Structure 1
Amino acid sequence: MARYGMQYGPPQRSRVPLVLVAVLGLVLIVILAVGGVLLYQRLDEPDSAPPATKPSTADAVEFRRVLKSEQGQCPSPPSDTVVCDANGFRYTVGRVELNGAHVTEVKAAQNEGDPTWHVMLNLNSEGAEAFTRLTTDLAKKQPPLNQIAIVVGDQVVAAPTVQSAIPGGKVQISSNYTKKTAEELARRITG
């Protein structure tokens, strides 16, 4: 008796579906691994501010000595020698000693562990030398003559008291800023 087409043992299956499932599994593993790495890198970055930039014009930010400070209204139209802040203080100021042309970088920043934000300005070498000379001189004076007005547009954004020389060309503008207000000030400086 002849057996035609008879096969002994389990039927043979094609290996194509098995290979296809294995390839799709490897592709899925690669996609998940790349996604995990990208997510880890994103989570590892601090709450970052916009990219740092330079001031758009030289007069975008000015550093001036404070000659007098008092409560009062600002002159209208604005004066070159009397500038006000947002809190109603009038500052009689000296000449511009440094400006946006000396600033190489402006960025909103936050110190680790500190909930408040500030605006960081980096000065070029000429600006760093001038700022060191200015703060060295101001540190020897009594209030308000030891204050430096940082003027953005036609407003004093900070008028810190200088207690010692500040070398190194790094200027930090602080005033209990939030991330939003620090970024807004940085944008005002950079135009």
Structure 2
Amino acid sequence: MTHPQYPPLFPQQPPAKRSRGPLLLVGALVLLLVAIVATGVVLVVKRSDDKPAAAAPAARTKPSDPTAVEFRRVLMVKAGTCPSPAPAGTACDAKGMRYTLGKVELDGSNVTEVKSALQEKGAGGWYVGLTLDSKGATLFEQLTAALAKQTPPANQLAIVVRGQVVTAPSVQSAIAGGKIEISGGYTRESAEQLVGEITG
């Protein structure tokens, strides 16, 4: 005896589809990670385009020894060998020029800050900057005003660091404000070395 085929009471369900939720979550996390890495690369690239940290001024304190730096009038200049030790009232520069100098008009006790920095204009070389206190700024302005009225070499101002003339520029006019720049072919290393010699 045959039994009629009845449809099952619970028809078979097709296999359940796997949820795509975890896959979407993983995909979203991967995209987020890629975005973060890309942003980091952009920031690194942007940072490398900025001015190098070396261009930023490196300021130091005032000279530990007031006699480490002196500002003196130039009375006479001549080429030749420099005796060691130099006679009183004389000093030489690195090029062998011998200077006969006047008295010390101001010194390291008037310097409040010494720094090396990269020039923003011109050739872009390094320089050493000195900042004077209010008394030093007044004395320096008076000194440069007097020198500007003289003829060479009496219009030159020698900046002497530990017994050596580091620069002796001609003065054309009074210099106010108490900011002094010593320049002349310095590299970062030589400017930092001069800063170290001034500050001790």
Correspondence for 1:183: 192
Secondary structure in structure 1 of the residue aligned to 2:60? coil
Runs of 4+ in structure 1 over 4 Å off: none
Instruction: Report the aligned-residue RMSD.
Output: 2.4
Correspondence for 2:110: 102
Correspondence for 2:130: 121
* Structure label with greater radius of gyration: 2
Correspondence for 1:170: 179
Correspondence for 1:36: 42
The offset of 1:29, in angstroms, is 2.0
The percent of aligned pairs where both chains have the same amino acid is 44
Classify 1:33/1:126 alpha carbon distance in 2 versus 1 (closer, same or farther; 3 Å).
Answer: farther
The offset of 1:109, in angstroms, is 2.3
Match 1:19 to one of 25, 29, 48: 25
Structure 1 gap ranges (5+): none
Whether 2:58 is the aligned partner of 1:64: answer no
Q: Which moved more, 1:48-57 or 1:160-169?
A: 48-57
Match 2:58 to one of 39, 46, 51: 51
Whether 2:127 is the aligned partner of 1:84: answer no
Paired AA for residue 16 in structure 1: P
Task: Count matched residues.
Answer: 189
The offset of 1:19, in angstroms, is 1.5
Aligned residues of 1:64 and 1:97 also touching (Cα < 8 A): yes
Structure 2 gap ranges (5+): 1-7
Summarize deviations over 1:107-149 as a string: whole Å, max 9, x none: 2321335243322222222211111011011111122111111
Q: TM-score, normalised by structure 1?
A: 0.83
Whether 2:140 is the aligned partner of 1:134: answer no
Distance 1:112 1:173 in 2: 15
Distance 1:27 1:80 in 2: 72
Secondary structure in structure 1 of the residue aligned to 2:184? strand
Correspondence for 2:82: 74
